[in-house]
Amino acid sequence: MNEKLASYSSVLGVVVANKRKELGIEQSDIAAKMGLSQASYSRLESGKSTFSVDQLFGCASALGVPVEELFQKVVNTVKNLQQSKEVSIQAPSRGNASGAQQGSNGAAAVVAGAALAALIIGLMGKSK
C-alpha cells in the first residue's frame, strides 16, 4: 500500500483556505490584515510554511472567526483523515531533531495542495 502523508500544517492551511473561500475573502486581503505579503500568506495556506501561534490568532481575527473554530475544524479533519486510512498525519522532522537527516523510506508519497484539499472536502461532505 502506498501510504499518503500530510502534515498538521497542511491540514491547517486547507482548513483556513476553505474558510477564507467560504467567506469570499481574497488571500491578499487576509495577508494585509496579518501584516504579511500575499506570497508569505500563500505558503501558510499551502502548508509549505508553518503558522506561528501569533499568526493563527491573527488569521482567525482577519477571518472574523474565533480561533477555537479553526482549531476544532483542524482536529475534526485530522480525525476524519485518520479514520479514512487514506492519509497519515505526522509532524515533519525538524532540522535539529534526531533522525531529521535520514530520508524518507521512498514508499510514502506526500499529499500536497489541491490533492489534500480535494480529499478533505470529500471527507467533510461524507460527515454531514
- What class, spelled out in words, does domain 4-126 have in CATH? mainly alpha
pLDDT at 1 over 70: no
Which of 25, 57, 60, 55 minimizes the C-alpha distance to 43? 55
Do residues 100 and 72 lie in contact, with contact meaning Cβ atoms separated by under 8 Å? no
- At 2 the pLDDT is 52
- First-to-last alpha carbon distance for the chain, in angstroms, is 28
Give the 3-state secondary structure of residue 84: helix
Whether the pLDDT of residue 107 is over 60: the answer is no
pLDDT digits (tens, 9 = 90+) for 84-104: 888 888 777 666 655 544 444
Residue 2: what are its φ and ψ, rounded to 5°? -95, 95
Q: Are 80 and 127 in contact (CB under 8 A)?
A: yes
Higher pLDDT, 118 or 60: 60
Contact at 8 Å (CB) between 18 and 121? yes
CB atoms under 10 Å from CB of 65, counted, come to 15
User: Does residue 66 carry a pLDDT above 70?
Assistant: yes
Domain boundaries, the chain: 4-126
CA distance 41 to 98: 30
Residue-wise pLDDT tens digits, 9-47:
999 999 999 999 999 999 999 999 999 999 999 999 998
pLDDT above 60 (res 105): no
